[in-house]
Amino acid sequence: MLKQIEGSHAVAEAVALCRPEVICAYPISPQTHIVEALGERVKSGALAPCEFINVESEFAAMSVAIGASAAGARSYTATASQGLLFMVEAVYNAAGLGLPVVMTVANRAIGAPINIWNDHSDSMSQRDCGWIQLFAETNQEAIDLHIQAFRLAEELSLPAMVCMDGFILTHAYERLELPSQEQVDRYLPPFEPRQVLDPAQPVTIGAMVGPEAFTEVRYLAHAKQLQALELVPELARDFKAAFGRDSGGLVRPYRMEDAEIAVIALGSVLGTIKDTVDEMRADGVKIGALGITTFRPFPLREVRDALARVKLYVVVEKSLAIGIGGIVATDVRMALAGRLHLRGYTVIAGLGGRPITKASLRRALGEAAAGRLERLHFLDLDRAVVDQVLAREKEVRRSGPIAEAVLRNVGVVGAKIR
């Protein structure tokens, strides 16, 4: 059914269609509308049997989900930013225990300085925790990925995170195709746990494991993630057969057939990138884009194959590994082992919600094509402001709080758009 709907509410509807049994809710922008909408549905009785639990923190949210999942209930929560960081210990725990919790991360920057706007720092901080990470490009894909995520997580008995850009997707109203309950029921079977707390068959879950077996337990976690590399494309094919839409999968190439330049990215920025590709193609530049939908496990082979014929690549990423540079770029480089001569650029963009415009992208991509771009480039960085702060820090010992100094130099408070 087509519906004009906010991204968050659409995700709530998709999750509701997946018949969750325990939902843990804790408010944090920009995720809050999702759990609000789910709370209303549970209260109305439409989701029965389903327990909606207003917890006291994100750490509790994930912990309740762990308990519920271990007791055999399909469990869901949503978070973002500081909330994801607050629950980190439990996030790792859910993965270590192999509990197929599904969580939406409405991607948002991490403080300090506190910032509620979008980037990928939150999800990226958890890239190695053992969760499957899927990144939605559009709200339609966000809906579809949630439905796929429950099946993927439960088949593998691994938790899965569906990442969608905060505000850009969560708060955007658009026309979306919402599947019917019958369609989802046919696609997503009831949860059959691999391990369950059942008085009829007592098991111990979460025993202490020493050096004699820890490596094997960790290897199995890795091996299970790698199984997702086979399963994700299968589930996407099944999804297309059932719902008639291309959604999910490992990677998504765009105009890559004869591309000499590849732009690689995750999430909603791919829309802007595709528009930029179209414009540059019209100008005769052989350029294409590669969207990475499944970031964990990382599809090394698919990325390598997609880049087999390009002459240079640019990774545009909304996160920064402070002290080295790109996170996605590092993984892309892994995929290109043996082709280390291939020219690659990392463009850090959109941090803390800074808009990524076609104009800025075109400029950076043009400079990359001409070999003039720094290998690690910060899109639209106000160099003068940074230099002023650095100079002041040299002169004055008590130079004061960093963010406040930057704001003073910028002279404005709020988003900076060129």
Partner 1 sequence: MHQPIKFYQTGTHTVGNRLLKPEQRTVQSDRSRSNSLNCGHRACQGCGEALGARYAIDAAMSAARRQLVAANATGCLEVFSTPYPESSWQIPWIHSLFGNAAAVATGMAAAMKVKNRGDVRVVAQGGDGGTTDIGFGCLSGMFERNDDVLYICYDNEAYMNTGVQRSSATPPAARTATTAAVGDAPGNVFGQGKDLPAIAMAHGIPYVATATVADLHDLEDKVAKAIAIRGAKYIHIFVPCPLGWGAAAHDTIRLARLAKETGLFPVFEAEQGEVTGILKIRRKLPVEEYLKPQRRFAHLFAPTPRPEIIARIQAIADRNIRRYGLLDEGAR
Member of 207, 370, 413, 417 binding partner 1 (CB under 8 A) = 207
Burial class (CB in 10 A: 0-12, 13-18, 19+), 13: buried
Question: Cβ 339 to partner 1, closest distance in Å?
Answer: 43
**Of 350, 346, 343, nearest in space to 369 by CA:** 343
Question: Cβ 203 to partner 1, closest distance in Å?
Answer: 6
Burial class (CB in 10 A: 0-12, 13-18, 19+), 276: buried
Site string for partner 1, 92-111 (x = CB under 8 A): -x---x--------------
Nearer to partner 1, 32 or 75 (CB): 75
Rounded to whole angstroms, the Cα distance separating 202 from 343 reads 56
Nearer to partner 1, 104 or 360 (CB): 104
Asked if residue 203 binds partner 1 (CB under 8 A), the reply is yes
Asked if residue 172 binds partner 1 (CB under 8 A), the reply is no
Strands 343-348 and 160-165 turn out to be: unpaired
Question: Cβ 61 to partner 1, closest distance in Å?
Answer: 8
Nearer to partner 1, 90 or 235 (CB): 90
Nearer to partner 1, 212 or 257 (CB): 212
Question: Cβ 48 to partner 1, closest distance in Å?
Answer: 9
Question: Cβ 64 to partner 1, closest distance in Å?
Answer: 4
Nearer to partner 1, 173 or 219 (CB): 219
Nearer to partner 1, 21 or 302 (CB): 21
Question: Cβ 291 to partner 1, closest distance in Å?
Answer: 35
Rounded to whole angstroms, the Cα distance separating 77 from 55 reads 11
Site string for partner 1, 11-40 (x = CB under 8 A): ----------xx-x----------------
Question: Cβ 219 to partner 1, closest distance in Å?
Answer: 16
Helix, strand, or coil here: 13? Answer: helix
How many C-beta atoms surround the C-beta of residue 247 within 10 A? Answer: 22
List the end-to-end C-alpha distance of the chain, in Å, as a whole number. 39
Q: What Cα–Cα distance (Å) separates residue 402 from each residue in 109, 112, 413?
A: 17, 10, 15
Question: Cβ 97 to partner 1, closest distance in Å?
Answer: 7
Rounded to whole angstroms, the Cα distance separating 229 from 223 reads 10
Rounded to whole angstroms, the Cα distance separating 115 from 415 reads 11
Q: 110 with 169: CB under 8 angstroms?
A: no
Rg (CA), the chain: 22
Member of 46, 209, 324, 381 binding partner 1 (CB under 8 A) = 209
Rounded to whole angstroms, the Cα distance separating 311 from 379 reads 22
Question: Cβ 191 to partner 1, closest distance in Å?
Answer: 11
**Of 47, 35, 50, nearest in space to 106 by CA:** 35
Asked if residue 208 binds partner 1 (CB under 8 A), the reply is yes
Q: How many residues sit close enough to partner 1 to count as binding (CB under 8 A)?
A: 43
Burial class (CB in 10 A: 0-12, 13-18, 19+), 178: middle
Site for partner 1 in 36-95 (CB under 8 A): 49-51, 53-57, 59-60, 63-73, 75, 89-90, 93
Site residues, partner 1 (CB under 8 A): 21-22, 24, 49-51, 53-57, 59-60, 63-73, 75, 89-90, 93, 97, 197-199, 201-210, 213
